[in-house]
Amino acid sequence: MKIVSACLAGINCAWDGKNRTSKKVTKMVEKGEAIPVCPEQLGGLSTPRIPAEIQKNKVIDQKGNDVTENFRKGALEALHLAKMVNCQQAILKKHSPSCGKSVIYDGTFNNVKIKGNGVFAEMLLKHGIDVITEEEI
């Protein structure tokens, strides 16, 4: 079973209240091959919400609020779900501070990208679950 970023499956859970639909990901969910999950919602953040980026070891939203604990809690809940369904691979939304893999925004909100993983992607990788982005399907 795979876990996928819920926004890629057409669910309106992104910070702006919209989705980031990928047809391939949506098809996997429709066929019962993948389960959609949004770690930021599971961490108690509202939708829509203020966009956030990783700054060193913290996650800070654009108004300066520290939302690190929401991101950690949501990633843990989503990891719990991934383990429950014996997930071997996750397909996660690129560049997100939760779901991004290998490349994320740099914390300046200037659309600059740097090397790094989102909080959820990093947690999955640490627990031996393979992570790819929607562009690597």
Task: State the residues that interact with ligand SF4 by CB under 6 A.
Answer: 5-7, 13-14, 38-40, 93, 96, 98-99
What's the min distance (Å) between Cβ of 112 and ligand SF4?
18
Cβ closest to ligand SF4, residue 39 vs residue 116:
39
> What is the Cα–Cα distance from 90 to 86, expressed in whole angstroms?
11
Q: Which amino acid belongs to residue 26?
A: T
User: Closer to ligand SF4 at the Cβ: 14 or 54?
Assistant: 14
SS3 of residue 29 by DSSP: helix
Measured from the CB atom, is 19 or 55 closer to ligand SF4? 19
Q: In the complex with ligand SF4, which residue's Cβ is closer, 98 or 117?
A: 98
Tokens of 129: 């679950």
CB of 110 to ligand SF4, least distance (A): 19
User: Least separation, in Å, of the C-beta of 116 and ligand SF4?
Assistant: 15
Length of the chain: 137
User: How far is Cα 110 from Cα 135, in angstroms, rounded to an integer?
Assistant: 23
CB of 132 to ligand SF4, least distance (A): 14
CB of 30 or CB of 90, closer to ligand SF4: 90
Strands 52-55 vs 34-37: parallel, antiparallel or unpaired: unpaired
What gap in Å lies between CA 20 and CA 37, rounded to an integer? 13
How near is the Cβ of 79 to ligand SF4 at its closest, in Å?
13
Cα–Cα distance, 84 to 77 (Å, whole number): 11
